[in-house]
Every structure is written in C-alpha cells, then in structure tokens.
A and B are shown apart, each in its own frame.
Chain A
Amino acid sequence: AQKVTQAQTEISVVEKEDVTLDCVYETRDTTYYLFWYKQPPSGELVFLIRRNSFDEQNEISGRYSWNFQKSTSSFNFTITASQVVDSAVYFCALSEEGRGGSQGNLIFGKGTKLSVKP
C-alpha cells in the first residue's frame, strides 16, 4: 500500500536558518512520482516539484533543494537561508502510474507546518 510520512508536524526557525523537511514514502511500484506542495496561509496549494522514481538526481531551485534517496525511500526538502515568506504548510505526496481506478491518485503526507520568525 502507498503511504507518505512527514514525521515533523511543526518546525519553527529564525530567519536565515537552514531547515530540512523530511518525507518518507512507501510503495510497491517501481514507477512512481513524488511531489512537494506549499500551502501558504491563503490556503491554495502551490506545486513546487515533481520527481519520478528513475531520476535520483538532486534538484536545486534558488534557495530550495530536494534530496531523493531510493535506498531510504526519502524525498527531503531543504530551504536555505529561510525567510518569513517561507512560512507555510508543506506537503509531500506520492503517486503511481495511473492505471484507472484510484491508482495514480496523489497520496499526501499530513504536512509540516513551518514557521519562520524574523
């Protein structure tokens, strides 16, 4: 069965600190996709990144970076030099290749609430 675990419920940091949000997933499929979404206080989930199971290259986008490790079934997200605007709830999600029915739908973790204080 698919499962996504975000063990950190809430994290609080001071501006300019680096912070890593953990995500551990479970799946029996060899083809799957991992996602991160940001939900600011306004409520709308904003897509950040998608990774497929065959691409273990780490990705960097500005202050954001993602570390995908199949050996530990983890897809962690690091924010470097955090800013107040990074305060949000962050969700990790997993999906398998769509084959009809409920397969292929996004399975979300419970989210990590990040508070960045000035």
Chain B
Amino acid sequence: DVKVTQSSRYLVKRTGEKVFLECVQDMDHENMFWYRQDPGLGLRLIYFSYDVKMKEKGDIPEGYSVSREKKERFSLILESASTNQTSMYLCASSLWVGNTEAFFGQGTRLTVV
C-alpha cells in the first residue's frame, strides 16, 4: 500500500524557533511536494523536488527552505518560525509530474505561539 508519512500530526513551536517537518515516502517516487493549507485559500505549493538534492520554489516559498538528501525523505524547514506560519502542512509524492496522481501524508498542524 502506498504510504506517505509525516513525522508529526501536531506541533506547537515558539516564535523564532527553527522547525523541521519531516516526510517519508515508500513508493520510490521521484517527486515530492510540500503544501500549506489554510481556510479559504485551499492548498498552496511551498516547494517541490523532482530528484535528490534538487528543489524548486513553489508559489509561497518565503520563510521556508527544504532538504532532500535521500529519495524517500523530504524535509521542510522554517528557519525562524513566525505566527503567520501557523497552518496545516501537507506532504505529497508522485511518480511523474503532471500526469500521475499525488499521494498525500496525513498532514502536520503547526501552531506557532
């Protein structure tokens, strides 16, 4: 069964902290994505990666960075967390970009206080 696993369901962090959100997929997919979901705004792409050590900015990369050292793992990093980064974060992976479906993790609800 296809699986994308995010390391935490809920996180509470303080303003200014460095935050790591981890995502692992077991499907040998080339592509991995990080989305942010906010009420009324839907899902917005933060960063994506189409290969190990490769990354590209999505629609809202400011305040975030990513790391992909191994094919199965894609990390989202908040260098200095701020309250406006309180959100639901969703990781996804897909075999190809465009013509195949993406599989999503269960989401991490991050609260920055």
Residues of A within 8 A of B (CB): 9, 33, 35, 37, 42-47, 50, 52, 91, 95-98, 100-106, 108-111
In the assembled complex, which residues on chain A have CB atoms less than 8 Å from the CB atom of B103? Answer: 47
Q: Which residue of A lies closest to B45 (CB)?
A: A105
In the assembled complex, which residues on chain A have CB atoms less than 8 Å from the CB atom of B28? Answer: none
Contact of B42 among A42, A50, A91, A103 (CB under 8 A): A91
Contact of B97 among A98, A108, A110 (CB under 8 A): A98
Nearest first, the 3 closest Cβ-Cβ pairs linking A and B are A98-B97, A104-B98, A98-B98
Residue contact B105 to A98, C-beta cutoff 8 Å = no
| Contact of B56 with A by CB under 8 A | yes
In the assembled complex, which residues on chain A have CB atoms less than 8 Å from the CB atom of B97? Answer: 95, 98, 103-105
Name the interface residues of B89-103: CB closer than 8 Å to any CB of A. Answer: 90, 92, 96-103
In the assembled complex, which residues on chain A have CB atoms less than 8 Å from the CB atom of B100? Answer: 50
Taking residues whose C-beta sits less than 8 angstroms from the other chain, chain B's interface range is 20 to 34
- With most chain B CB atoms within 10 A of its CB, the pick from A43, A44, A97, A110 is A43
Residue contact B56 to A102, C-beta cutoff 8 Å = yes
In the assembled complex, which residues on chain B have CB atoms less than 8 Å from the CB atom of A111? Answer: 42
CB distance from A32 to the nearest CB of B (A): 8
Q: Which residue of B lies closest to A45 (CB)?
A: B104
Residue contact A43 to B58, C-beta cutoff 8 Å = no
Contact of A96 among B56, B58, B88, B98 (CB under 8 A): B98
A108 to B42, CA, bound (A): 7
In the assembled complex, which residues on chain B have CB atoms less than 8 Å from the CB atom of A106? Answer: 33, 43, 45, 102
Contact bitstring B39-58, A, C-beta under 8 A = 1, else 0: 01111010010100000111
Residue contact B33 to A105, C-beta cutoff 8 Å = yes
| Contact of B111 with A by CB under 8 A | no
CB distance from A40 to the nearest CB of B (A): 11
Residue contact B58 to A105, C-beta cutoff 8 Å = yes
Task: Other than A97-B99, A109-B42, give 8 A-B pairs with Cβ distance below 8 A.
Answer: A33-B98, A44-B105, A44-B106, A47-B101, A98-B96, A98-B97, A98-B99, A105-B48
